[in-house]
Amino acid sequence: MIIPANLLKEVSKLKEQLNYHNYRYYVLDDPSIPDAEYDRLFLCLKELEKEYPQLVELDSPTQRVGAAPLSAFSQVTHKVPMLSLDNAFSDNDMRDFNRRLQDRLKSTEDIEYACEPKLDGIAISLLYIDGQLVQGATRGDGTTGENITQNVRTIPSIPLKLLGQDFPPALEVRGEIYMPKAGFGALNNRARAAGDKIFVNPRNAAAGSLRQLDSAITANRPLEMCAYSVGLVEGGDLPTQHTAALEQLHEWGFLINSEMRAVGNIEACIEYYQNLGVKRDDLAYDIDGIVFKVNDFNLQKTLGFVSRAPRWAIAYKFPAQEEMTQLLDVEFQVGRTGAVTPVARLDPVFVGGVTVSNATLHNRDEIDRLGVKVGDTVVVRRAGDVIPQVVSVVRSRRPETARDIVFPDTCPVCGSHVETVPGEVVARCTAGLVCAAQRKEAIKHFASRKAMDIDGLGDKLVELLVDEGLIDSMADLYHLQAQQVEKLERMGPRSAENLIAALHKSKQTTLDRFLYSLGIREVGEATARSLARYFGNLEKLITADEETLQQVDDVGPVVAHFISDFFIQPHNIEAVQALQDAGIQWQDIEVNEADEPLSGQTFVITGSFKVLKRSGAKAMLENLGAKVAGSVSVKTSMVVVGGGATNNSKYIKAQELGVATTDEPGLIELLTAHGAL
């Protein structure tokens, strides 16, 4: 069907008008037409698109919702990592931060900072190509996030097409998606009226809304997005200051925080923090602190990064919110390593946006330090706004019936002996793999990628298998039948067959992976590898005494005790034998010094590589006998520095200590010379 030229022009004008009015309404909070007029324009466009479907394009205001529900979210790799921030908790922390920057810049001049409220929401990345939104992704682990494009398209304050014409051809905008307090209240009121479950706080509501596979659900949630930075920028330039760049984003259609300011020095930052702290409860949204960034992009580039955080930014967190309540009882929980942790059962109290009924007491020493008793009135804090903990006792309110908290001598789950190793504060159940409380966590660890690497056996499936009585031990995994598994929730014939195949594949492993999978205390990947190389087979390791064990690299008296104590327990030996009887096998190791020319050398790898994968480089170095460590010390033989890492802490530490460094080509040359490549 041929579309008249005047109709094309009309549709283009309608889209332009609607996008502009969306910007006035949701970003500027300054609508220029009545809602009824907006609705008329919207309906007109919708009718034209219905009559001429070929007119429908992704940037049309009518296309915010409409895609079919997803079966799962795909993964997105961030081309520019989404870094986390270091935290400050006091004015002195802020002054120390400023002093570190001045020292690095070799200047005593004041630094100008951008100040922004730290919204309590979900970090998001939006990619625009030629001004059109093509991808929305969560932060994830900073490197890889989830593709939630369909959902972000439903949020009115996110432009589907940028305003203006001078934007870069490729532009990644980063910000926070959150739920304003008013919208959160209205959402919960609707849920109560419908008899549905209500959300605990706005952040949880925002997170749950963004992870809906059906974007129509997300569209009905009152979400907003506030831009706070840019990531990838290709083919264009931005202003040289952070605040100016955000103002530019605002002109292109993004909501930015109206409380954002640029200030001239660190004392002004502290004053800004104090002033906004007073206004915090009156803001239309939740914040948990203030983010301060060096305003000048050139200075940011000079200052660089440390590990996974920029040197030029810091989050000054507000004090954790506290409330008083009564400690009703104390129960003891047992974790994967057997740690027996006291948990306070509280008279429920609303703290920091959530209702808290349980809080950690950490260990026996913490109980003694607090002097807390059952029946006391206690002060509860959400440490880091996440984990509730008891921080003090209101002694003036102690009742006569208050009683001491008695730590158990036997495991509250399996009845085995509880011991506290000299020099430690944590009490532990000695039953190991036999203790039911440790079973689920032990199996999860056993199946993990760096252990037996059983594809498809995630945490929830492990819990389901145990709860349904299908497995009681790690060895039971290898006796599962597909017919049993396919009957479980969210499983089916194909998933069940894939799991059984993955279990069968995992039977062929290596001694070091097997040792790591057993979850012996303090035996990580590196120690497991050292043990495997030193003893060569499992039998020699099992019969080794503590003195012999201490001859192994990375094994001191404490770790030697943990290993010896593990293998001296009959039930642990039975569990190991059951795994071997189930078919798990490996090749014994015969160490030939000629095959390990880098034996005794320690390498540290940092930065990004173009040819090699870091995991692959690590494996090749270890196969040549080297140890690959995570930090630089005087014992380090060489630091391998990938691209963009010459400003990071490991490279700088190597320079300070006089440790040799090389780059990726140098590492490739070394590996090639020893036959690893």
Cβ(178)–Cβ(285) below 8 Å: yes
User: 3-state DSSP: the chain helix, strand, coil percent, rounded to 5?
Assistant: 40, 20, 40
Cβ(187)–Cβ(181) below 8 Å: no
Give the relative orientation of helices 664-673 and 614-623 as an angle to the nearest 10 degrees: 30
How many angstroms separate the CA atoms of 89 and 283, rounded?
A: 21
Helix (H/G/I), strand (E/B), else coil: 275: helix
How many angstroms separate the CA atoms of 93 and 584, rounded?
A: 52
Cβ(394)–Cβ(379) below 8 Å: yes
Instruction: For residue 444, indicate whether it is catalytic.
Output: no
How many angstroms separate the CA atoms of 235 and 169, rounded?
A: 6
Residue with tokens 């270890």: 622
How many angstroms separate the CA atoms of 588 and 532, rounded?
A: 9
Q: Which residues contact 196 (CB under 8 A, 6 or more apart)?
A: none
Residue with tokens 């003694």: 368
Q: How many CA atoms lie within 13 A of 235 on its CB side?
A: 11
Q: What single letter denotes the amino acid at residue 92?
A: N
Reading the block at residue 225, the tokens are: 């997005």
Q: Which residues contact 348 (CB under 8 A, 6 or more apart)?
A: 325, 355, 356, 357
Closest CA to 603 of 552, 551, 666: 666
Give the angle 667-668-670 at the CA atoms, nearest 5°.
Answer: 60
Q: Of the listed 13, 106, 118, 460, which one is catalytic?
A: 118
Q: What single letter denotes the amino acid at residue 312?
A: W
For the chain, how long is the longest CA-to-CA vector?
90
Cβ(311)–Cβ(654) below 8 Å: no
Cβ(567)–Cβ(511) below 8 Å: no
Q: List residues with catalytic annotation.
A: 118
